[in-house]
Amino acid sequence: MIDPDRTRGWLRRLWPVVAGHRGIFAGALLASLFSLMCGVAVPRVMMAAIDSALTTRVASLETFVIVIALLGVARGGAGFVSRFWIFRVAYAIENDLRVTLYEHLSRLSFSFYDRVQSGQLISRANSDIRTVQMFLTFGPLMSLTLLSFVAALGLMLSISVPLTIVAVLPLPFVGVLGARLGRLTFPISWIVQARMADIATAVEENLSGVRVVRAFSAERDQIGAFSRAARRLQWINVRQAEVQAAHAPVIEAMPRVGMALVLLVGGWLAIEGSLTVGAIVAFTTYVVLLQAPFRMFGFFLMMLQRAAASAMRIYEVLDERPEIVDRPDALDLEDPQGRVQFQNVTFGYGEGPSVLAGFDLDVPAGQTVALVGRTGCGKSTVARLLARFYDVDGGAVRIDGVDVRDLTLASVRAHVGLVPDEPFLFTTSLRDNIAYARPDASHDEVVAAARVAGASEFIEKLPEGYDTVVGERGYDLSGGQRQRISIARSILANPRILILDDATSAIDVHVEEAIHRELERLLAGRTTIVIAHRLSTIALADRVVLLEGGRVVADGTHEELLRDEPRYADVLAHLDDDRAARVEPSAEAVTP
């Protein structure tokens, strides 16, 4: 769980996730520290071996060789343990972040998805989390090299204070350059991640809308749009490389200046007799150890800033609060009768104009009502408010006299079934698609629902029948076939209140007649709201409600409205035009 306190730094907010693996994480750091200390001890043993041999001329080096070999074995073993454990922890944290982000996305309201591109979310769930994971893998290991720096510095001071001062003279310049590199890298890293998300968005939208692109021969335009997005990413990546190239070589080269000074001053001290040869050899080795953190300093800063930018992008999503949530005292909707009421409802999407304004409708339990009106009059909005995908701006939506905001979301959606006009199928078997709301349903129940929806005929002709796995979004099926699967899914769920949002718009008229005969039997005693764009669908209803300007302007039977309400006759005359507008390719997003 990410720390919700937005005032804290990104690493402190991440700590609760890391803390869940703190045992193995601490073990990895200790093993890495032990490995580094073994490496630091080797030059001091070499110094003793060289000085002993040069002093006595006959001293045996066997003991020193054994000690160095043991240090090497210990360092290798500890290094293996530290790397294995640190990678294990990093991948566990990556998994925790992915699950946390996905769980949070599943709770966010529809209004969030209305304004955020799916490609941006995919980028955060993939590349941004991977960037954080890479830092958590290599960052701690790089940070521990600072301890080797401290240990090496202490041993150098114990050998020669003047020579140590000479060796570290260039290092303050490294710190100044590193700080400047960090300031420049963070905003660039943020832009890099944002433009990578733009690329993901372009790919996702064009793959989803490939039929629209092909239908309008817009491949060249889309390739051009993608190429421009790719060039923007290329430019910022090159800019990042320029900044790094201008700083990293200098950061790495400055400690080498220290080595040159060590050789110069150390050689002079050795000639004067105030320093041994072994000490000079040890010093040159320790200068290399001093250089190690600085050689990685630029890379470490780049990883840190990229991880910080990615973490902040992830937190942007995790800090979003769902707008549609259960109230603390929310009640479960149990065994409802099915009466539906809209009382003086006002609603608009985001900052847009009101779609419903003073909308009133009372549907008694068990009645089937058809909503009719021109495109944009608010018919589908009525369905979304009843299922509580959105909350009203004013007024109330009630089921059995209880405001849906006083009921738990799970219980409302368990009893309110929605068959959308644009059915969505998952990349799994037809059986699993139909049984989506009831995974434990038997095969006979699935088949029975498919027969009512008119889907069993084409399913049984498929080579694998109900085990046939559909392609992405079910596009290897026709629009009418997808709608029949969607109807079967809702039939199997068996909700008390059913909403059919132009659910048979893509189905052949003759097949639709057979489905309607089955639906008439199924809808008996069930509260049903039919959003109609066909006369045949209107015929299912006991009552017809005409919408205009976001409110009810006429209410009665089909025959009564056709006789007494000229606006109803005018709407019926344009139903085909409105249906055509609804199935325009704009239903599938294409990158502008």
Return the closest-CA partner of residue 313 out of 119, 111, 123, 103. 123
Three-state secondary-structure class, residue 392:
coil
How much of the chain exceeds pLDDT 70, in percent?
A: 88
For residue 33, tell me if it sits in a domain.
yes
Residue 591: predicted pLDDT: 31
Structure confidence at residue 292 as a pLDDT band (50, 70, 90): low
Task: Tell me: pLDDT of 146 over 50.
Answer: yes
Count: domains in the chain:
2
Q: Are strands 543-548 and 368-372 parallel, antiparallel or unpaired?
A: parallel
Contact (CB, 8 A) for 93 and 130: no
Residue 584: predicted pLDDT: 41
Higher local confidence (pLDDT), 215 or 67: 67
Give φ, ψ of 437 to 5 degrees: -80, -20
User: Who's near 573: CB < 8 A, 6+ residues apart?
Assistant: none
Per-residue pLDDT, averaged over 239-244, amounts to: 82
Question: 22-56 vs 10-19: helix axis angle to the nearest 10?
Answer: 100
Q: Where is the domain boundary, 318, 350, 369?
A: 318
Residue 585: predicted pLDDT: 36
Task: Tell me: pLDDT of 212 over 70.
Answer: no
Return the closest-CA partner of residue 162 out of 289, 266, 260, 44. 266
Asked if residue 274 and residue 184 are part of one domain, the reply reads: yes
Three-state secondary-structure class, residue 435:
coil
Q: What is the pLDDT of residues 400-447, one digit of tens each?
A: 999 999 999 989 988 998 888 788 888 889 999 999 888 889 999 999
How far is residue 360's CA from residue 343's CA, in Å, rounded to a whole number?
5
DSSP state at residue 167: H
Residue 208: predicted pLDDT: 65
pTM for this prediction: 0.72
Residue 589: predicted pLDDT: 34
Q: Identify the bridge partners of residue 345 per DSSP, sorted by sequence position.
A: 359
DSSP 255-276: HHHHHHHHHHHHHHHHHHTSS-
Higher local confidence (pLDDT), 442 or 509: 442
Edge-to-edge strands, sheet with 527-531: 416-419, 497-501, 527-531, 368-372, 543-548, 551-556
How far is residue 330's CA from residue 408's CA, in Å, rounded to a whole number?
5
Residue 341: predicted pLDDT: 95
Q: Is the dihedral of CA 275, 276, 282, 288 positive or negative?
A: positive
Q: What is the pLDDT of residues 361-389, one digit of tens each?
A: 999 998 989 999 888 888 889 999 999 99
Higher local confidence (pLDDT), 516 or 491: 491
Asked if residue 285 and residue 195 are part of one domain, the reply reads: yes
Query: Which residue matches tokens 């069930």?
Result: 526
How far is residue 5's CA from residue 23's CA, in Å, rounded to a whole number?
25
Asked if residue 372 and residue 251 are part of one domain, the reply reads: no
Q: What is the pLDDT of residues 447-481, one digit of tens each?
A: 998 988 888 888 988 888 899 988 766 677 887 88
Rg (C-alpha) for the chain, rounded Å, is 35
Residue 326: predicted pLDDT: 92
Q: What is the pLDDT of residues 334-352, one digit of tens each?
A: 889 999 999 999 999 988 8
For residue 325, tell me if it sits in a domain.
no
For residue 485, tell me if it sits in a domain.
no
Structure tokens at 262: 């060590």
Residue 442: predicted pLDDT: 92
Asked if residue 164 and residue 256 are part of one domain, the reply reads: yes
Asked if residue 382 and residue 261 are part of one domain, the reply reads: no
Q: How many Cα neighbours within 13 Å face the side chain of 61?
A: 14
**pLDDT, mean over the chain:** 82
Instruction: Count Cβ neighbours within 10 Å for each residue of 381-414 and write b for 16 or more, e otherwise.
Output: bbbbbbbbbbebeebebbbbebebbebbbebbbb
How far is residue 167's CA from residue 287's CA, in Å, rounded to a whole number?
7
How far is residue 395's CA from residue 361's CA, in Å, rounded to a whole number?
12
How much of the chain exceeds pLDDT 90, in percent?
A: 16
Per-residue pLDDT, averaged over 514-542, amounts to: 78
Residue 268: predicted pLDDT: 81
Return the closest-CA partner of residue 527 out of 539, 517, 515, 541. 541
CATH number of the domain that residue 49 is part of: 1.20.1560.10
Q: What is the pLDDT of residues 80-126, one digit of tens each?
A: 998 889 888 888 888 899 889 888 988 888 888 888 877 778 888 88
Return the closest-CA partner of residue 395 out of 413, 376, 382. 382
Asked if residue 415 and residue 299 are part of one domain, the reply reads: no
Task: Tell me: pLDDT of 577 over 60.
Answer: no
A 10 A CB-CB count for 493 gives 21
* Sequence letter at residue 500: L
Structure confidence at residue 592 as a pLDDT band (50, 70, 90): very low
Asked if residue 357 and residue 308 are part of one domain, the reply reads: no
Residue 216: predicted pLDDT: 60
Asked if residue 344 and residue 203 are part of one domain, the reply reads: no
For residue 449, tell me if it sits in a domain.
no
CATH number of the domain that residue 344 is part of: 3.40.50.300
Structure tokens at 270: 């050795």
For residue 445, tell me if it sits in a domain.
no
Q: What is the pLDDT of residues 5-26, one digit of tens each?
A: 888 888 888 888 888 888 888 8
For residue 200, tell me if it sits in a domain.
yes
Q: Are strands 402-403 and 394-399 parallel, antiparallel or unpaired?
A: antiparallel
For residue 153, tell me if it sits in a domain.
yes
Residue 394: predicted pLDDT: 94
Residue 107: predicted pLDDT: 87
Residue 332: predicted pLDDT: 92
Task: Tell me: pLDDT of 58 over 60.
Answer: no
Asked if residue 262 and residue 406 are part of one domain, the reply reads: no
Query: Which residue matches tokens 């905001």?
Result: 405
Domain that holds residue 196: 10-318
Asked if residue 259 and residue 154 are part of one domain, the reply reads: yes
Structure confidence at residue 586 as a pLDDT band (50, 70, 90): very low
Structure confidence at residue 570 as a pLDDT band (50, 70, 90): confident
Helical spans, DSSP H, in 524-574:
535-538, 558-564, 566-573
544 exposure class (CB count in 10 Å sphere: 0-12, 13-18, 19+): buried
Asked if residue 137 and residue 18 are part of one domain, the reply reads: yes
Asked if residue 104 and residue 22 are part of one domain, the reply reads: yes
Contact (CB, 8 A) for 284 and 262: yes
For residue 454, tell me if it sits in a domain.
no
